[in-house]
Amino acid sequence: MPQSIKVAVDAVVFGYDAEEGVSVLLIKRKFEPFQKFWALPGGLVKDDESLEEAVRRELKEESGVDVTYLEQLYSFGKPDRDPRNRVVSITYYGLVRPKDYQLSAQTDAEDVAWFNISRLPKLAFDHKQIVETAIKRLRGKLAYEPVGFELLDKKFPFSDLEKLYQTLLATQLDRRNFKKRIMSYGFLEELDENVQRSVGRPAALFQFNRKKYFELKDKGYNFDLFL
């Protein structure tokens, strides 16, 4: 009996805002199954496109978002994960700054919005499991690679970086040791600029030196936040 398995892609896109915290991009489904449910952006892969081309297309069509940082996450393929057909989903996760985009729901998406990872709605299909897997992967990656900088503004107060790590890792950091550890690597630069966020002294701004980081990485210098 010939196989009738379809291949799909789904994307867990994380965004960060200093006030709102860490969020996930979701679309509201326009059609059955799971009509009106929130779900991850995604869909079937076309015959003439690669997996990455497919996930970028689906993201653009359903949400208006074009992701720079995108990495393959995991494959989900339980026989009953989609009531219509046997569908294997190759999932990806990405990191963006939400304010860089104007969200736009199109094709089979009725709506699109950001949801804080601690307050997610009921999700369609097995997308809750996919999101949980992506959060676990991101938390693990933060410890040995500074991917968190993809979520921050190009210039940011150190408190934003600290808050991002505390939110994603769900732990309280020792502020002094965290800053000492991060600064010791040499890829975070303090600028001669300040920002006034609230009452009190203005905060110094920092920026991530991507070139310096990759130079260190090429030399075999390992980033490990918790050594």
Q: Note the pLDDT of residue 227.
A: 52
Q: Note the pLDDT of residue 226.
A: 64
Residue 138 has pLDDT above 60, yes or no: yes
Whole-number Å distance between alpha carbons of 179 and 146? 13
What is the CATH number that goes with domain 6-142?
3.90.79.10
User: Would you say 46 and 54 are in contact if contact means Cβ atoms under 8 Å apart?
Assistant: yes
For the chain, give every residue range classified as CATH 3.90.79.10. 6-142
- Highest mean pLDDT pick, 40-44, 66-70, 196-200: 40-44
pLDDT in tens, 65-100: 999 889 999 999 999 999 999 999 999 999 999 988
For the chain, give every residue range classified as CATH 1.10.10.10. 147-218
Q: Note the pLDDT of residue 82.
A: 95
Whole-number Å distance between alpha carbons of 46 and 53? 9
Domain 147-218 fold is: Arc Repressor Mutant, subunit A (1.10.10)
- The residue-averaged pLDDT of 148-163 equals 91
Task: Locate 29 and state its tokens.
Answer: 């489904």
